[in-house]
Amino acid sequence: MVSRLALCALLAGCTNSAYEGRADSQSYDAIQSKAFLVPGMTEQIFIDDDDVPDLSGFATNQESYDYLALESTSEVGARVIGLGAALDLAFQHNDAYQAQKERLYIEALALTLDRYRFTPIFDGRGGAAYEWDNRDQFVTDMQALTGMSEQLSVTQTESINAQTSLGARYLLRGGGEVALNLTNNFTRFLTGDVSEVNGGALVGSVTQPLLRGRGIVASESLLQAERDLLYQLRLFTRYRKQFAVDVASQYYSVLLNREAVINNFAGLNANNLQLERERAFQAEGLRTLLQVGRLEQSSLQLDLRWTSSITRYKRSLDAYKILLGLTANDNIVLDENEMTLIAETGMASPELNLDEAIEAALQTRLDLYTQLDLVQDAARKIRVAANALRPGVDLTLGVAVPDSGNSTLGELDFEDAVYSAGLAFDLGLDRRAERNDYRRSLISYESARRAYLLATDNVKFAVIDAWRRMTEARKSYDINVTSVQINERRVEEAELRAELGLGDVQDTVDSQTDLTAARTELTRAIVNHNIAKLEFWRDVGLLYVRDDGSLEEGIAAQ
């Protein structure tokens, strides 16, 4: 009864779900054991089920918007998504982000196998076979042919042969291997004789390379697997920052497209108001058809521009749903207050100057650390390849203990054990493949060294480029602030002159068009500066994405 319960427990422990659970436990433990080495690494590393996004907890928009024309009611009932909520949704449901988490998990899973190879590994095998032959039929036939039935007898030749084997193997970090194996063979004859023939042995051995394969080269695969997981953690953290910046950038881009719709709608209404006034003057004979026609043509162009901006806004909003991992049926609208918040933060420069920013990037960029570590890996692989060129000299110690020979299952005769010790040599006369590997490792080292130098320059260029784009955005902001003020005065003067019947229609059209464009460009400058600042802190390595989806930038965020 006890054996049956033990067998059931063993089978229950070998179910697919049990294997999955143990794989998850070991993989996540491996990730967490190295996570502290990567600044900014999140604790949200688990591969979640692909659940459906739940938007029920978000506030609902109840307003319709005339500036969306035929789609004025399309956002009634839409869920209002703030930037923090957008980041959280993207981290949970975006396919590309989930794929990055899966790559991290798979790297950790691979490490668990390399670690397992350097632990005691047990093995148990067994088998049984039923054997017989037809010698009894042959004897019967011979009796019939020769008439020698009394001299020949039929012998029983049926048997069951079985074998069991239990073993253990342990790889040592220095290249050695310890192996232990216990075998037991037994045969039960079916002739009515219940005697049992047994044969067993205990064999143990220790093998230690003395030249080739000795030392750190033996555990090279484990060492590289440990480092590869660290590299993947850095890559994941870097990707998480880039992904967060992309989510935020596209969030502001959608709001910018919405702002363009609002500005184009306002410009169209202002132009139409001017058109009505000019038509009234035309009815009194104060305006010609040519003059009124200019406004009519301008109205048509502004109408087309407004319609195009609606399409562009809706298209960008739909694309943003995909980025967040939502479906086409999910109705959302982005929070306009986020645009107000970045406008209130102003166009202030980071507290670092450019030289300090470059130096900080060289000290903090995780991908740059990985490039440097890859140079060290390449140098280590040269030593590994050089070791493979050495002769093979292996020291072997062994012991074999036979069974006792008294038909008692599992009993061994240690007094009759046989011990052995020896050396195995491989002079290495054929080393063409190893020679090529060694030369290849030298080339790989030089390639890794150049890649590190190139990565260093790329980091510097990225920081400089982000700095320039911030400077450009600030300049654009200043210009467009002035441009809006100028064009507001132009529009006011054009309207006043038009009311007095003294205005020029072309001035009215141009001033209103320029004002609409200046307002949109002013908003664009604010958005571009904010995006460039996020990318600047990301490229400097001082942008941190918290587990709640919030972004923290600057030295104080460390």
Contact 201, 183 (CB under 8 A): yes
Q: Between these two residues, 494 and 395, which has the higher pLDDT value?
A: 395
Q: Where are the domains of the chain?
A: 36-44+52-118+220-387+434-550, 135-171+176-212+392-426
Q: Which amino acid is at 377?
A: D
Distance CA 434, CA 388 (A): 6
pLDDT in tens, 48-106: 766 788 898 999 999 999 999 999 899 999 999 999 999 999 999 999 999 999 999 99
Query: 3-class DSSP state for residue 15?
Result: coil
pLDDT attached to residue 23: 93
Question: Is 0.75 surpassed by the pTM of this model?
Answer: yes
Check pLDDT > 70 for residue 190.
no
Q: Are strands 543-545 and 551-553 parallel, antiparallel or unpaired?
A: antiparallel
Helix residue ranges per DSSP H, 366-431: 366-387
Contact 107, 232 (CB under 8 A): yes
Q: Which long-range contacts (CB under 8 A, 24 or more apart) does 32-37 make?
A: 34/226, 34/229, 34/230, 34/233, 35/233, 37/230, 37/233
284 pLDDT band (50/70/90 cuts)?
confident
Counting residues of the chain whose pLDDT is more than 90, the rounded percentage is 53
Distance CA 67, CA 272 (A): 14
Check pLDDT > 50 for residue 191.
no
Q: What is the DSSP letter of 36?
A: T
pLDDT in tens, 161-175: 777 788 899 898 888
Check pLDDT > 90 for residue 382.
yes
Contact 233, 38 (CB under 8 A): yes
Superfamily, domain 36-44+52-118+220-387+434-550: Outer membrane efflux proteins (OEP) (1.20.1600.10)
Check pLDDT > 50 for residue 17.
yes
pLDDT in tens, 438-447: 999 999 999 9
pLDDT in tens, 124-163: 888 877 776 655 555 566 566 666 555 545 555 666 777 7
With CA atoms as reference, report the closest residue to 201 among 411, 21, 26.
411
Q: Are strands 177-189 and 196-209 parallel, antiparallel or unpaired?
A: antiparallel
Angle between helices 220-283 and 505-540 (to 10 degrees): 170
Handedness of CA 350, 351, 357, 361 (dihedral sign): negative
Measured from the Cβ of residue 367, the count of other Cβ atoms closer than 10 Å reads 16
Q: Which amino acid is at 192?
A: G
Measured from the Cβ of residue 509, the count of other Cβ atoms closer than 10 Å reads 21
Contact 445, 379 (CB under 8 A): yes
With CA atoms as reference, report the closest residue to 519 among 475, 554, 486.
486
Check pLDDT > 50 for residue 234.
yes
Check pLDDT > 50 for residue 195.
no
Q: Which amino acid is at 353?
A: N
pLDDT in tens, 498-537: 666 666 667 777 888 888 899 999 999 999 999 999 999 9
